[in-house]
Structure 1
Amino acid sequence: MSDVAEAAPRRRLSEADRDRLLRAAAHGIFLRDGYTAARMDDVAHAAGMSKRTLYQHYASKALLFEAVMQDSLCPLGIDPAAEAEPDLATALRAMLVSLARHLFEPQQVAIFRLIIAEVRRAPELADAFHRAGPGRGASSIERRLAAEIDSGQLRLADAHQAARMLFGAAIGAAHMFLLLGLNGPPSEAEIERLAGEAVEIFLRGALTDRAG
């Protein structure tokens, strides 16, 4: 009997496993090298796969980057309980807090900084990033505002612009200072305070007499 044990057959990866490994490898390469300098060869090597396999999953670096954004920002949504909350002020505060918690996480901050650094050389990144992340969260706020406008509770001309204004008032300044490295992430109490004050001021000007 041979002293050399036969090697166990290597488990064949499923398509889903390959895809997961490729996205994980790409995430590290993009954060390390930036979008423009990142090479598909390096992604394939980091994932332990061939470049051909990589291109079978993602036909371009732009598509791969968008997939990585979707993975990185997939939690960047609104708590369903917040969306279902019947009281408007409570719902808006909860939605903003939910969104802010994700935006201030270190991984999300790193992704934002990458986009800012690369967007002039690769403008398509901005759309991919917005679709994958912040746009989804803001859309939830926009839908709630639109419903309240339709029911006569709010006097607003444009739910889309109103959602952006509310988002900016609650989160914009703190997020910008964090991205610039001027401040650290706000505490949970600070996030709740910022959201509460923004909603109070917003509704003071937007609620109709009927809502009162």
Structure 2
Amino acid sequence: MAYAMFRELGYAQLTTDAVAARCHISKRTLYRLFPNKGALVAAIIDTHRRQLIALPGDYDDLSPIEALERIFVNEVEDEHDRERFAFLKLLFIEAAQNPELDQIVRLHGRDVALGLLEDWIAREVELGRLRVPDAHGAARMLMDLVAGATMPARTGPVEWPGSAARRAYVSECIRLFVNGAAPRH
């Protein structure tokens, strides 16, 4: 319900009073669950982040390429892909106008995703399947590769290449990263 209201109203117009009313709960109950609007939106972002990056998870039985295809949830139905992009578009447009939201997006979206990806890369290094000098730097590079061109821009027109083009692009980014980080024998 809060997600639908966030999409409908945007961050600035979303209020905890309105969410409590629409959910038919008291403000006191809502505040027990979410002490403020920021915490409520952080929970929305946490939920949607899992639709974009499937970590943590057990990918030890998969090759790095197969694991990253699953981690970046690259094989989804077109409708689900469009919904993910619509949410990202809303977040980026709203965050550009609301510094508080921008901070929430960084802390609960990007920073968490990078940390989880860093942990996965460190595990792959430990297993001998990847070789990188710095798991954090490698996670940032991989995230930039995969998300950089497929994330909506903060300025200018927001475009989406379409699901098939995005899937092919992400697969190529994954292949390039893994081939560059593969141990040399």
TM-score, normalization by structure 2 = 0.72
Aligned to 1:16: none
Structure 1 stretches lacking a partner, 5+ long: 1-23
Aligned to 2:152: 176
Given that 2:69 and 2:174 are in contact with CA atoms closer than 8 Å, whether structure 1 keeps it comes out as yes
Aligned to 2:60: 84
2:38 is equivalent to residue 62 of structure 1: yes
**2:4 aligned partner, one-letter code:** G
Given that 1:76 and 1:134 are in contact with CA atoms closer than 8 Å, whether structure 2 keeps it comes out as no
2:183 is equivalent to residue 208 of structure 1: yes
Aligned to 2:163: 186
Secondary structure of 1:105's aligned partner? helix
Structure 2 Cα separation of the partners of residues 51 and 27 of structure 1? 17
- Give the alignment's Cα RMSD to 1 decimal: 3.4
Structure 2 Cα separation of the partners of residues 84 and 146 of structure 1? 12
Aligned to 1:95: 71
Structure 2 Cα separation of the partners of residues 194 and 171 of structure 1? 10
**1:206 aligned partner, one-letter code:** A
Instruction: Please point out which of 168, 173, 177 is paired with 1:198.
Output: 173
1:12-27 matches, within 5 Å, as 24=1, 26-27=2-3
Given that 1:93 and 1:199 are in contact with CA atoms closer than 8 Å, whether structure 2 keeps it comes out as yes
Given that 2:64 and 2:178 are in contact with CA atoms closer than 8 Å, whether structure 1 keeps it comes out as no
**1:78 aligned partner, one-letter code:** A
**1:170 aligned partner, one-letter code:** V
Given that 1:99 and 1:137 are in contact with CA atoms closer than 8 Å, whether structure 2 keeps it comes out as no
Structure 2 Cα separation of the partners of residues 194 and 163 of structure 1? 18
2:16 is equivalent to residue 29 of structure 1: no
> How many equivalent residue pairs?
181
More relative contact order, 1 or 2 (CA 8 Å, 6+ apart): 2
How many Å apart are 1:61 and its aligned residue? Answer: 1.3
How many Å apart are 1:137 and its aligned residue? Answer: 4.7
Secondary structure of 1:75's aligned partner? helix
Given that 1:166 and 1:202 are in contact with CA atoms closer than 8 Å, whether structure 2 keeps it comes out as yes
Structure number with bigger Rg: 1
**2:54 aligned partner, one-letter code:** I
**1:56 aligned partner, one-letter code:** R
1:41-190 matches, within 5 Å, as 41-78=17-54, 83-96=59-72, 98=73, 101=76, 105-120=81-96, 122-130=98-106, 132-133=108-109, 135-150=111-126, 153-176=129-152, 180-187=157-164, 190=165
**1:165 aligned partner, one-letter code:** M
How many Å apart are 1:165 and its aligned residue? Answer: 1.6
CA distances 1:70-107 after superposition (whole Å, capped 9, x unpaired): 344443442788723342333234433x15749x7344
Secondary structure of 1:64's aligned partner? helix
**1:194 aligned partner, one-letter code:** Y
Structure 2 Cα separation of the partners of residues 35 and 116 of structure 1? 11
Given that 1:156 and 1:162 are in contact with CA atoms closer than 8 Å, whether structure 2 keeps it comes out as yes
